[in-house]
Amino acid sequence: MYAFDSFVALGDSFTEGLNDARPDGTFRGWADRLAEILAGGRTGFQYANLALRGKMLGEVVEEQLPIALEVRPDVVTLCAGGNDIIVPGADVDAVAGRFEAAVAKLRAAGINVVIFTGPDTKQVSVMNILRGKVGIYNAHLWAIADRYGAKVVDLWAMDALHDLRAWSDDRLHFTAEGHRRIALRTAEVLGVSTEADWREPWPENDEHATWITSRRSDLEWTRAHLLPWIRRQLRGESMGDGLAPKRPQLMPLIEAAPEPPAIGLVDVAACNQDLR
């Protein structure tokens, strides 16, 4: 009934789950949501999420890929390179070449691999200047998937993500609803049935329907998000510095309920003694 018993997620902030926040401030994200779908309530299903915000492709390959190759899960999701190609002057073709080498190693190990195209930023102010780079990288990803038999979650083609309500105010990460729909789409690509449909239209009369008119201005966004990113780039810093992956090891997603303690003869004798 279940096709997968283990899942390892590799990547950067997208896979870590920014900005799908839980009440305690941690991030859930599409990968956690997908793990829940794949587990189907089973205690035997195992899941690791090694992704960390700010990671470049080289770091994902050096730090995360070896762990996935060692534990050899049933399925690995790999989404990386986005932080590389947004850097001015980046060689998109070279980034794609490094990504291909990672996919080749995973497939050679007999692991099912799922990769993700970059989303279409046409509707996202300022970030839409990256469409050309993202489009070229996506073409490479489709070719890589074809060569190695990897599955592709085409974020670019997901109409649901063309709605600005899928994007958080940093214009780079997705909202909780965006993550939910991506998880559903990924499950579909893996051939796993779900109760919900990622294609479901966004509500017409939603409280966030006017978000595009009330969101921060480009100037405010630049101050709050772009300038800090530029400063980090100049200093060689990352959002993930000092942080650790939220699920660094492959372990059960759902812990088995503890068995009730058995009452032996000694315990019964002790109880009888207490009653005297």
pLDDT digits (tens, 9 = 90+) for 96-138: 999 999 999 999 999 999 999 999 988 776 677 889 999 999 9
Q: What is the mean pLDDT of residues 135-144?
A: 98
Higher per-residue pLDDT: 2 or 147: 147
Q: Name the pTM for this structure.
A: 0.86
Phi-psi category of 107—alpha, beta or left, where left has phi over 0 and alpha has psi -120 to 50?
A: alpha
Element (H, E) at 153: strand 151-153
Name the residue among 188, 250, 256 with its Cα closest to residue 6: 250
Confirm if 63 and 240 have CB atoms less than 8 A apart: no
- Domain spans, the chain: 6-275
pLDDT digits (tens, 9 = 90+) for 177-206: 999 999 999 999 999 999 999 999 999 865
Residue 96 burial class via C-beta count within 10 angstroms: exposed 0-12, middle 13-18, buried 19 and up: buried
Is the bond leading into 19 cis (omega within 30 degrees of zero)?
A: yes
pLDDT at 66: 98
pLDDT at 41: 94
Instruction: For residue 191, give every residue at least 6 positions away whose Cβ sits within 8 Å of its Cβ, in sequence order, or none.
Output: 3
CATH superfamily membership of 6-275: SGNH hydrolase (3.40.50.1110)
Distances in Å between the alpha carbon of 67 and those of 8, 25, 49, 61, 204? 9, 27, 11, 10, 44
Beta-strand pair 46-49/247-252: antiparallel
Would you say residue 225 has pLDDT above 60? no
**Dihedral over Cα of 53, 244, 65, 74: its sign:** negative
Beta-strand pair 6-11/151-153: unpaired
pLDDT digits (tens, 9 = 90+) for 246-274: 999 999 998 766 666 655 544 544 444 44
